[in-house]
């Protein structure tokens, strides 16, 4: 049950991220549903984005580590946090903060894609 829950939420998160035009850092066959590594789009201020997510949405995503610092975000889907409402919050918040930073995103596409992934 936990494995299928992680897979379902991971697939919805990826669908939403990709609908926003974001790319995953790891090829699909090698991804861990519990830890999603996302490439930071060019021109995005990583620290400012993560700070805005935390201050405005009470949402924390991880920075890239080592050679990936400033190049990726880490979005965890583990334990209690691995649920539909958190996936949708993450997508909504990330979309809002990226748009505020001037990234060209069609508002609402991420939620539509995630909900379609959930089968709605």
What are the pLDDT digits (tens) for 12-69?
999 999 999 999 999 999 998 899 999 999 999 999 999 999 999 999 999 999 999 9
The reported pTM is 0.94
Q: How far apart are CA 85 and CA 13, in angstroms?
A: 11
Q: What percent of the chain has pLDDT over 90?
A: 88
Residues 70-83 have a mean pLDDT of 92
pLDDT band at 3 (very low <50, low <70, confident <90, very high): confident
| Rounded alpha-carbon distances, angstroms, from residue 113 to 18, 46, 54 | 9, 24, 24
């Amino acid at each position: 049950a936990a494995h299928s829950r992680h897979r379902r939420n991971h697939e919805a998160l990826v669908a939403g991220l990709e609908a926003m035009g974001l790319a995953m850092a790891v090829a699909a066959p090698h991804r861990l549903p519990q830890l999603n590594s996302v490439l930071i789009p060019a021109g995005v201020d990583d620290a400012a984005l993560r700070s805005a997510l935390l201050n405005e949405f009470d949402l924390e995503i991880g920075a890239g580590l080592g050679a990936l610092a400033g190049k990726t975000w880490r979005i965890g889907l583990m334990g209690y946090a691995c649920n539909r409402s958190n996936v949708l919050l993450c997508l909504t918040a990330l979309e809002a903060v990226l748009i505020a930073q001037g990234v060209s995103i069609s508002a609402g596409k991420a939620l539509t894609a995630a909900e379609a992934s959930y089968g709605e």
